[in-house]
Amino acid sequence: MKNFYFTPFLCLISLLSFTSQAQNSLKGVIIDENQNAVPFANVILLQASDSTTVYKGTVSEEDGGFLIEAVENNEYVLEVRFVGYENFVKKIEVKGNTNLRKLVLIESASNLDEVTVTAKKPTISRSVDRITFNVENSVLSSGNSYEILKRTPGVIVSQGQLLIKNRPADVYINDNKVYLTAQELQQLLEGFSGENVKSVEVITNPPAKYNAEGGSILNIITSKNLAIGYKGSLNASNTIAIKPKYSVGTSHYYKTDNLNAFASYNYNTRNDIKTDLGNITYFDPAGGVDSRWDDEFNKETKRESHSLSTILDFTLSEKSKLSLSANILYTPKADSDIDGRTEIYNPQMQLDSLYTTDSRLENEGDNLLFNANYSTSLGESESTFSAQANYIKYNDDQTQDLLTQYFSNSGNLLNNNSFYTVANQDTDIYTGQVDFTSTIAGLASEYGAKYSGIDSQSGLDFFNTNAGNRNFVDALSDKFDYNENIFAGYVSLAKDWDTWSLKAGLRGEYTDIEGNSASFGAVNTQEYFELFPTLYLMHTVGENHSFGLDYSRRITRPRFQSLNPYRYFLNENNFQVGNPNLQPGISNKVLLNYTYKNKLSFDLYYDKINDAPAILPFQNNQNRTLRSVADNLIYEQQFSLDISYYDYIKDWWFVDLYASVFKMENEFVAFESENQKVKNEVTSVYLRASNYLTLSKDGTFSGNILAFYSPDFIAGSYDFDEPQYGVSLGLRKTFFNDRLSATVNVEDLFDTYNIPLRSNYLNQDNSFFAMPESRSIRFGLLYKFGNFKLRDNQRALEADENERLEAQQML
């Protein structure tokens, strides 16, 4: 690697090579009489000259620690409040950085069980660069993590993808990206209990700290045990659809003064039915209808999977922590039986001929994700250093046995063809990252560097089995090696003053890619360096109004599977093909926001992606084939106005309403239409209403109802052929002082999630209608055992929420 490639990163880091006197800070640790940390305590700093005037305030962290920055030299009254304890009041003097060390709260004589809950914890909160959806101990906790993501504000589910602002979202767990396909991600998260999720962060324009690749981010923050001791849970569910699906699992937390341990295991076995309908109208050279092909494919998949998640947090010292985590997904069985029938009609819609396809797919795969993270505080300036490393191991083995038989319109067998394939993929992903945070001249700064590398080998051996034995076909077999190296550096600065908040960042990434196909030779080599700026600005006017501006530049790199030129056949006339000439797409996104009382929000949003990678279907009217090609769109853009409202309508009724009015368009080259440029566009809306209900006075019975509607949408050259809408609902009942909870969830009540897609322009007319089991009813049980002090702390937090919010509003 040439040295000049690293010059941009040295320039980024050198931006921070200046020093300035840090602002005064006030810190300490809140503990109880047993030396246990007290999290979520209200820490309020009052003017000594007028103890009724709040100067600043904060809330203690999970370890009891608190930090108040930018404190002027003066005398103050410090007050600490937490339900179940007597108020702690102390007169202090701040001269420079001040450490109060341990502050001990005395338990009050009143019983915590007698506390009356007068306010509720907000479900949604907004900061300068993200929205946080708090779900811990909510009705959603008894479901799985994938269900929580689907119900997160601003998230749209379309054709099995999680979208934000109509774009596919990347999923992170505790700020670590999950390198999985959409199907594998769903499989992993369906085995991860919602009880383990504290919150979901919706990051529309990710800051410079995150990878420049991809679109918006859904970051899952997992729960931690706040109380010393042990607690655990057992969960089980049965999903009834066309075929049954079962899941059982267990989670365990253990905490000491220096260790926080978590482990979760789930076993899933399921039988899935999916029907796909397809239609292609082929045209003659004059533009008249030549023939019509109607397809129906039925697929039954029997799958078993094991998922294991572990987290070990070690407190090495007062300033240093080490965290080790792992997510393991092992699928020993994912076997599919597929039968298809294609009927061919003449222009008069009379049956001309037909063929049938019978296929057996057998898959075995595993995905291992390991993470190590070290963090420490540096000196008295509250600077921090962190370093983390990730290793991801992905392996997938697949065999396919396929037989196609051709018949006349009278049912006589004309011909048959059969083949057998053995495919495998072995991928290693390595990442390493270092990050620094500090306060310089009143600016909160972040800067760091990251390396990520992908080493992947995949291959397919093709065997002709027409003669009854397997004959290797070299021309239809392939081996594909892919290597990707990305070197990145970033800097981010943030400052809050008066009624303004500003955060700006710059990330630089150098990318080196090489893909090599054994059949086609060296097919792809790319080297490039790009800069990715980000900007966030927020202004508050009084207590009720805030205005925001976000901007980001990002990149979408083609996946190595899309670069492989090998053809994957669904049948002899329908195949998918990669493209070694794919280029990365560059996007620019701008968002203007207005929020009223942190309840009503308006987002005016625009993004444009040049050379956006996509999968485009093209029918060859002469050869009667349909190929799905990985290609770059010329551009893809959208304008949208999004309106969201979330609040408690009643003490027992919380609503999250979302409406998006958008115009989407893209342009691409039509390979089978003399390379003409085609524009696909739509103006549409997306409407969603989420209702969370407390159905009993004691809070043990709750429910949720979700409904959405969208009349039209586009994806590449495809367009919705029908409106999409749906209703889902859930109920949760707890017993034995919240130790046992039972849930019932109904998904897609009216069986309307699945809709047909059509690509219709010039001499192209083909449609596709995928119909997986979207309508289902799931019964779940969750039993908790062990130390339940965590539950008591949560209840105390909710009881004192009004005071806590008042203090936060004055920061």
Our measurement of the distance from residue 730's CA atom to the centroid of its chain's CA atoms, rounded to an integer in Å, reads 22
Q: Are 762 and 678 in contact (CB under 8 A)?
A: yes
Cα–Cα distance for residue pair 729/516, rounded to 1 Å: 49
pLDDT of residue 791: 36
pLDDT of residue 797: 29
The pLDDT confidence band at residue 725, using thresholds 50, 70 and 90, is very high
pLDDT of residue 123: 63
Output 391 or 157, whichever has higher pLDDT: 391
Query: Exposed, middle or buried by CB within 10 Å (0-12, 13-18, 19+), for 605?
Result: buried
pLDDT digits 0-9 by tens, 303-318: 999 999 898 999 998 8
Q: What percent of the chain has pLDDT over 70?
A: 88
The pLDDT confidence band at residue 278, using thresholds 50, 70 and 90, is very high
Token output for 418: 């059969």
Token output for 640: 């949208």
In our burial notation (b when 16+ CB lie closer than 10 A, e otherwise), range 233-258 reads bebbbebebeeebebebbbbbbbeee
Output 401 or 141, whichever has higher pLDDT: 401
pLDDT of residue 39: 78
Please say if the pLDDT value at position 49 is more than 70.
no
Please say if the pLDDT value at position 434 is more than 90.
yes
Write the CA distances from 725 to 100, 399, 431, 755, integer angstroms. Answer: 56, 37, 40, 9
Cα–Cα distance for residue pair 331/334, rounded to 1 Å: 7
Cα 430-434-438 angle, rounded to 5 deg: 160
Cα–Cα distance for residue pair 646/418, rounded to 1 Å: 57
The pLDDT confidence band at residue 380, using thresholds 50, 70 and 90, is low
Please say if the pLDDT value at position 30 is more than 80.
yes
* Least confident among 43-52, 249-258, 572-581: 43-52
pLDDT of residue 443: 82
Token output for 199: 């919150």
Write the CA distances from 329 to 112, 163, 270, integer angstroms. Answer: 42, 23, 15
pLDDT digits 0-9 by tens, 406-426: 999 999 999 999 999 999 989
Token output for 219: 């970051």
* Mean pLDDT to the nearest integer, 651-672: 93
Residue type, 301: T
Stated pTM of the model: 0.77
pLDDT digits 0-9 by tens, 238-264: 999 999 999 999 989 888 888 889 898
Query: Exposed, middle or buried by CB within 10 Å (0-12, 13-18, 19+), for 216?
Result: buried
* Residue 33 β-bridge partners: none
Mean pLDDT for the chain overall: 84
With DSSP H G I counted as helix, E B as strand and the rest as coil, what are the percentages for the chain, rounded to 5?
10, 65, 25
pLDDT digits 0-9 by tens, 739-782: 898 989 999 999 999 999 999 999 999 999 999 999 999 998 98
pLDDT digits 0-9 by tens, 593-613: 999 988 899 999 999 999 999
Residue partners of 412: CB distance under 8 A and separation at least 6: none
Cα–Cα distance for residue pair 587/553, rounded to 1 Å: 6
Please say if the pLDDT value at position 555 is more than 50.
yes
DSSP labels, 467-534: TSS-EE-GGG-EEEEEEEEEEEEEEEEEEEETTEEEEEEEEEEEEEEEEEETTTEEEEEEEEEEEEEE
pLDDT of residue 727: 96
* Mean pLDDT to the nearest integer, 37-47: 80
Residue partners of 700: CB distance under 8 A and separation at least 6: 733, 734, 735, 738
Q: Where are the alpha helices (DSSP H) in 615-694?
A: none
Output 41 or 218, whichever has higher pLDDT: 218
Rg over CA atoms, the chain: 29
pLDDT of residue 739: 87
Cα–Cα distance for residue pair 741/141, rounded to 1 Å: 10
- SS3 call for 17: coil
Please say if the pLDDT value at position 448 is more than 80.
yes
* Mean pLDDT to the nearest integer, 585-590: 94
